[in-house]
Amino acid sequence: MAGDEGVPTAEFIAGVGKQETTPFQQPSTGEERESNQMPGIPDRPLSSEGPWLVFSTEGGIWAVNPDGSGLTRLTGTPNMKLRLLAEGAAPTGGKLAYITSQDVYFQLTLNMITLPEGKVEVITPLVSNQWEPPKDLFSDHDLAQMARAIAEQPSLAWSNDGERLAFMGAIEGRTSDLYVYDYRDKSITQLTDGPSQGFNPVWSPDDEYILHFGTSTFGVGAGYMMDGVWAAKADNSSVITLYDPGNSGAEEFRGWLDDSTFVVSSWNPSCGSHMLRTYDIFTHVEKVLWEHCFTNAAFWPEIGSIAITIDEYAARDNPEGLQGVLMFKPGSATPEQVLDGNIYDVVFSPEAYAFMTYVSPDVYLIASNGEVLRIEAITGNLPVTGYSNMEFAWYGSEGLWVNVPIDPSIPIRRIFEGKVIYVTWDISSEYLLFFTDSAFYVAKAPEFIPMRVSGQLSTKDVTWIMP
């Protein structure tokens, strides 16, 4: 296994964990206040300035201030089980779009919460009454696939300015088509109308086009029957047919290199991910980066770098059985192998400003220049990284720990004993909020003494809403 140990170099620290953060603003009243908080949590309402932590439980959707105060139930109807609230969180403006349903696939409805007002409204049913699937879902194949496109696949995407929401729906026909909801004038515009089941809308960086994919069937595990890939003009003036996916079992969007060029890979059951490439929606020029099998990939948006992992399974069909982490840097014709070994996963951490991968018993951080830092893992997974000084929170079945790996003088501390299922930092890294199987806590730096916000709430469906 390649990689350096010990105290990080000045060059590494310069390339990791150093990024500008945007100051936030904030929310207000809601439907119901929680009152069984521990002493030490401020007694004040939901903030009018934000940001707000919003989460869904079986009992509805809740909001809370970063310090644990102001816990408020916004609605008694939860987010649908197959999707996460984070998919519908607008980048700005205090808006959260989410889907509700009956028995997962029925009565699919697009809703919106606006903070700080706490306003909850129905935007539109996503399926017209005429095309509502039968209770025996798969007795009508086409309607079943339509419902799966909306319920199972990514189907919500905010524009980068936070004013328009792209969503998939079957409002004007029996297939899943692309629509745009404009928050400014409350209008809904249908952008596509075709025979395939559209899914996974993605805005271009300039908010001019919405990339999306189509299939005739999602299958049962061996891949989809892909029909095509399109880019629809957000103003409804045109739709560009991009390419035929051929025998691909899925097309995996990885990120945008610029306003017209995106990174994508294909998938099939025998190889997994493969054929990593770039594609320009205007010129239709395709450039292959890596044609062989790989396991997972992560994209670094600010610099356009891509990291892929190759485990021992994917390496079987690769040249010379290559394994590890490969990094594709902008302008480079060939990837750089930054780690070797049987490595399964890699992510990009915007808080650490680095790629991260877990290889038992260690975590590796990969800086923009390809330099690698090894950190001894406390639990068997990746840490949750803070924003201000690259604080790490490690959690699992045995508890919750906090440390600052770039400052070895700060000792590792176990701040909670017992199973923890979800952890998040606030933007200032002053507060660490976490859930167990039965309770919700907040811990304030630098002591990080856990204070119970609620003894009745537990979830993993959590997101931050920005003002």
DSSP secondary structure letter of residue 4: B
Work out the percent of the chain whose per-residue pLDDT is above 90. 85
- Span 5-37, pLDDT tens digits: 444 444 444 444 443 322 322 333 334 444 445
- Span 292-322, pLDDT tens digits: 999 999 999 999 999 999 999 999 988 788 9
Tell me which residue of 278, 381, 275, 374 sits closest to 331, measured CA to CA.
Answer: 278
Q: What pLDDT shows up at residue 39?
A: 63
Q: What pLDDT shows up at residue 29?
A: 34
Q: How far apart are CA 55 and CA 39, in angstroms?
A: 23
CA distance to 108, 138, 236, per residue, from 104 (Å):
8, 14, 30
Q: How far apart are CA 303 and CA 328, in angstroms?
A: 11
Q: Please, what is the Cα angle at 178 between 173 and 181, to 5 degrees?
A: 110
Q: How far apart are CA 424 and CA 442, in angstroms?
A: 10
Q: What pLDDT shows up at residue 37?
A: 53
Alpha helices in 139-237 (DSSP H): 141-151
Q: How far apart are CA 46 and CA 78, in angstroms?
A: 19
Contact 161, 180 (CB under 8 A): no
Q: Is it the case that residue 259 has pLDDT exceeding 80? A: yes
Q: Which of 24-28, 128-132, 424-428, 463-467 has the lowest mean pLDDT?
A: 24-28
What band does 390 get if pLDDT is binned at 50, 70 and 90?
confident
Q: What pLDDT shows up at residue 106?
A: 96
Q: Where are the domains of the chain?
A: 20-78+382-467, 90-96+103-246, 261-377
Q: How far apart are CA 363 and CA 377, in angstroms?
A: 6
Residues 6+ apart with CB under 8 A from 412: 378, 401, 402, 403
Q: Is it the case that residue 99 has pLDDT exceeding 50? A: yes
What is the mean pLDDT of the segment spanning 122-141?
94
Q: Is it the case that residue 242 has pLDDT exceeding 90? A: yes
The dihedral region occupied by 275, where left means phi > 0, alpha psi between -120 and 50, and beta the remainder, is: left
Residues 6+ apart with CB under 8 A from 227: 195, 196, 214, 215, 216, 245
CATH of 90-96+103-246, picked from 3.40.50, 1.10.10, 3.40.30, 2.40.128, is 2.40.128
| Mean of per-residue pLDDT scores for the chain | 92
Q: What pLDDT shows up at residue 38?
A: 61
Contact 365, 375 (CB under 8 A): yes
- Span 201-239, pLDDT tens digits: 999 999 999 999 999 999 888 899 999 999 999 999 999
Terminal alpha carbon distance of the chain:
44
Q: How far apart are CA 186 and CA 172, in angstroms?
A: 18
Q: Is it the case that residue 3 has pLDDT exceeding 50? A: no
The one-letter amino acid code at 363 reads V
CATH 2.130.10.10 fits 261-377, yes or no: yes
pTM of the model: 0.91
Count helices and strands (H / E) in the chain: 2, 36
Q: Is it the case that residue 245 has pLDDT exceeding 50? A: yes
Q: Is it the case that residue 420 has pLDDT exceeding 90? A: yes
